[in-house]
């Protein structure tokens, strides 16, 4: 049996206030092409369908179109909600959708009934566990001691009557200890909600969502497929893919990555302002890419972002890499400040802040400005 494992679509996502809906539509089309080529038995979507719990109308419409295309291909879909989703909204119409072989995990109520698929080796039982917090599980199992996420997930799995002679697949959306995070997720997730990979040892394959980097945890069969697009600057350079899983007879599982190519890359370019605005340097590159630009000019360029966006419209972030930014100098108070002249005080402050003295032209401008101020006060 062949499964295609997806997660973390984050439909409706905005990156630095730029809508990614066009990019998401493009990547969903690419995924549909992969599905036509691979001809899987089922498609797993392991949570975070939307970027917000109340998704935009455009993102809901896009997902509706995607599900309709999967149904038209007569594919079974196994879908759960993630921590970004509203489980009530994601599971709306779930009973009706089953007629089109779209199986959506309901709002967690303590019970998980498997979706059973069949191939020449027999049954494959797929258990759909949406993102759960300890409070969700305590409400269903009041007699259990549940203090953290580890306790919560262990309790839920312990109440599944798992038949070990069958092939069992778990679809869930949790942070598994040992997963490699991008910088943004390190800040957002922290470490309080992690669970142990050992909890999933009884499943033939565990399809995880939540972490945006494709990776396996402890075993090839406990896997994050990652997000289909780079959703933060800290994901720059991460290759994106979908995961193809093939289940043979009991105990036989193979996993491979199928790469995805986005409409626009997320990348960094650097150089002086003149270098980056010279036509010969940008005419052979995709200026529509999402960019982090690092200017190496020693002096700040006035309205650099506005000017650079005339060439690079999807400029996400602008930084400087020069003598001033590479060296950090501490600014301290001076005991003899009252004895120094205003020009000398400002010159010292400028050098402390910028790690270099003022240029001749800056010194002339400052002297002129101070003289004008003094003349006005004397008048």
Residues 273 and 321 in one domain: yes
Helix ranges (H only) for the chain are 21-38, 57-72, 87-90, 94-97, 134-140, 149-158, 183-189, 273-277, 279-282, 304-308, 323-326, 342-354, 360-378
Q: Choose the final residue of a domain: 242, 259, 276.
A: 259
Extract long-range pairs of 112-121: CB within 8 Å, 24+ residues apart: 112/156, 112/159, 112/160, 114/168, 115/76, 115/78, 117/1, 117/41, 117/42, 117/76, 119/1, 119/41, 119/247, 121/1, 121/167, 121/247, 121/248, 121/249, 121/250
pLDDT tens-digit series, residues 4-21: 999 999 999 999 889 999
Residues 230 and 208 in one domain: yes
The pLDDT score that the predictor gives to residue 319 is 93
Contacts of 110 (CB under 8 A, 6+ apart): 137, 140, 141, 156, 159
Q: Is residue 97 part of a domain?
A: yes
The pLDDT score that the predictor gives to residue 320 is 93
Q: Choose the final residue of a domain: 224, 240, 259.
A: 259
Measured distance CA(32)–CA(23) in Å, rounded: 14
Q: Is residue 331 part of a domain?
A: no
Residues 180 and 76 in one domain: yes
Radius of gyration of the chain (CA): 28
Q: Is residue 132 part of a domain?
A: yes
Report the percentage of the chain scoring pLDDT > 90.
74
User: What sign does the CA torsion over 6, 126, 220, 245 have?
Assistant: negative
In which band, very low, low, confident or very high, does the pLDDT at 295 lie, cut at 50, 70 and 90?
very high
CB 23 within 8 A of CB 62: no
Report the percentage of the chain scoring pLDDT > 70.
91
The pLDDT score that the predictor gives to residue 362 is 87
User: What sign does the CA torsion over 81, 83, 85, 87 have?
Assistant: positive
HEC string of 154-180? HHHHHCCCCCCCCEEEEEEECEECCCC
The mean per-residue pLDDT over the stretch 21-35 comes to 98
Q: Give the chain's mean pLDDT.
A: 90
pLDDT tens-digit series, residues 174-221: 999 988 876 555 545 555 589 999 999 999 999 999 999 999 999 999
Q: Which two tokens stand for residue 49?
A: 């369908």
The mean per-residue pLDDT over the stretch 293-317 comes to 93
Q: Which two tokens stand for residue 152?
A: 């919560």
pLDDT tens-digit series, residues 125-181: 999 999 999 999 999 998 999 999 999 999 999 999 999 999 999 999 999 998 887
Q: Which of 81-90, 103-112, 193-202, 320-329 has the lowest mean pLDDT?
A: 320-329
The pLDDT score that the predictor gives to residue 334 is 47
Residues 61 and 188 in one domain: yes
Residues 246 and 348 in one domain: no
Q: Is residue 250 part of a domain?
A: yes
Q: Which two tokens stand for residue 31?
A: 């995924």
CB 213 within 8 A of CB 231: no
Residues 16 and 137 in one domain: yes
In which band, very low, low, confident or very high, does the pLDDT at 288 lie, cut at 50, 70 and 90?
very high
Measured distance CA(232)–CA(236) in Å, rounded: 7
Measured distance CA(223)–CA(240) in Å, rounded: 14
The angle at the Cα of 352, spanning 351 to 356, to the nearest 5 degrees, equals 35
Measured distance CA(71)–CA(75) in Å, rounded: 6
The pLDDT score that the predictor gives to residue 234 is 87
- CA 134 to chain centroid: 24
Q: What is the widest separation between alpha-carbon atoms in the chain?
A: 99
pLDDT tens-digit series, residues 349-376: 877 667 678 888 888 888 888 877 866 5
Q: Is residue 332 part of a domain?
A: no
The angle at the Cα of 21, spanning 15 to 27, to the nearest 5 degrees, equals 105
Query: Which range marks the domain in which residue 342 is found?
Result: 337-378
Q: Is residue 46 part of a domain?
A: yes
The pLDDT score that the predictor gives to residue 70 is 96
CB 231 within 8 A of CB 262: no
Q: Is residue 27 part of a domain?
A: yes
In which band, very low, low, confident or very high, does the pLDDT at 105 lie, cut at 50, 70 and 90?
very high
More confident residue, 126 or 324: 126
Q: Give yes or no for residue 337 having a pLDDT over 70.
A: no
Extended strands (E) in 105-147: 115-119, 122-129
Measured distance CA(124)–CA(122) in Å, rounded: 7
**230 to 21, 87, 211, 333: CA distances (angstroms):** 13, 24, 12, 45
Q: Give yes or no for residue 333 having a pLDDT over 70.
A: no
Residues 314 and 346 in one domain: no
Measured distance CA(12)–CA(167) in Å, rounded: 35
Q: Choose the final residue of a domain: 259, 278, 304.
A: 259
Q: Is 322 left (phi over 0), alpha (psi -120 to 50) or beta?
A: beta
Residues 233 and 372 in one domain: no
Residues 26 and 74 in one domain: yes
Residues 162 and 285 in one domain: no
CATH of the domain at 97: 3.60.21.10
The mean per-residue pLDDT over the stretch 231-250 comes to 94
- How many structural domains is the chain composed of? 3
Residues 255 and 280 in one domain: no
Residues 191 and 233 in one domain: yes
Of all helices (H) and strands (E), which one includes residue 84?
none
């Amino acid at each position: 049996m062949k499964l295609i494992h997806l997660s973390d679509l984050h439909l409706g996502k905005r990156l630095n206030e730029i809508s990614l809906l066009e990019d998401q539509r493009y990547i969903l089309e690419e995924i549909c092409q992969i599905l036509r080529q691979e001809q899987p038995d089922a498609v797993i979507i392991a949570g975070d369908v939307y970027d917000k719990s109340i998704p935009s109308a455009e993102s809901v419409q896009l997902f509706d179109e995607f599900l309709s295309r999967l149904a038209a291909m007569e594919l079974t879909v196994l879908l759960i909600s993630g921590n970004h989703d509203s489980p009530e909204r994601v599971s709306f119409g779930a009973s009706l959708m089953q007629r089109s072989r779209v199986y959506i995990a309901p709002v967690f109520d303590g019970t998980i009934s498997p979706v059973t698929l069949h191939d020449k080796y027999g049954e494959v039982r797929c258990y759909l566990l949406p993102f759960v917090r300890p409070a969700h599980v305590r409400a269903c199992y009041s007699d259990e001691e549940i203090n953290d996420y580890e306790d919560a997930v262990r309790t839920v799995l312990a109440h599944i009557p798992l038949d070990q002679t069958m092939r069992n697949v778990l679809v869930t959306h949790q942070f598994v200890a040992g997963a490699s995070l991008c910088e943004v997720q390190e800040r957002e997730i922290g470490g309080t909600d992690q669970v142990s990979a050992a909890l999933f040892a009884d499943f033939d394959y565990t399809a995880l969502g939540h972490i945006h980097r494709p990776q396996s945890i402890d075993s090839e069969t406990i896997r994050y497929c990652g997000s289909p697009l780079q959703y933060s600057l800290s994901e720059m350079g991460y290759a994106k893919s979908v995961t193809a899983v093939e289940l043979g007879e009991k105990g036989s599982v193979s996993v491979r990555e199928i790469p995805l190519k986005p409409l626009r890359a997320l990348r960094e370019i650097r150089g002086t302002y003149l270098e980056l605005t010279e036509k010969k340097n940008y005419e052979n590159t995709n200026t529509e890419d999402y960019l982090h630009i690092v200017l190496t000019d020693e002096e700040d360029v006035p309205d650099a972002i506005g000017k650079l966006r005339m060439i690079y419209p999807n400029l996400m972030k602008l930084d400087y890499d020069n003598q001033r930014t590479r060296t950090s100098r501490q600014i301290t108070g001076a005991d003899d400040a009252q004895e120094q002249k205003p020009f000398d005080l400002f010159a010292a402050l400028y050098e402390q802040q910028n790690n270099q003295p003022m240029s001749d032209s800056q010194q002339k401008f400052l002297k002129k400005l101070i003289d004008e101020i003094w003349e006005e006060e004397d008048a």
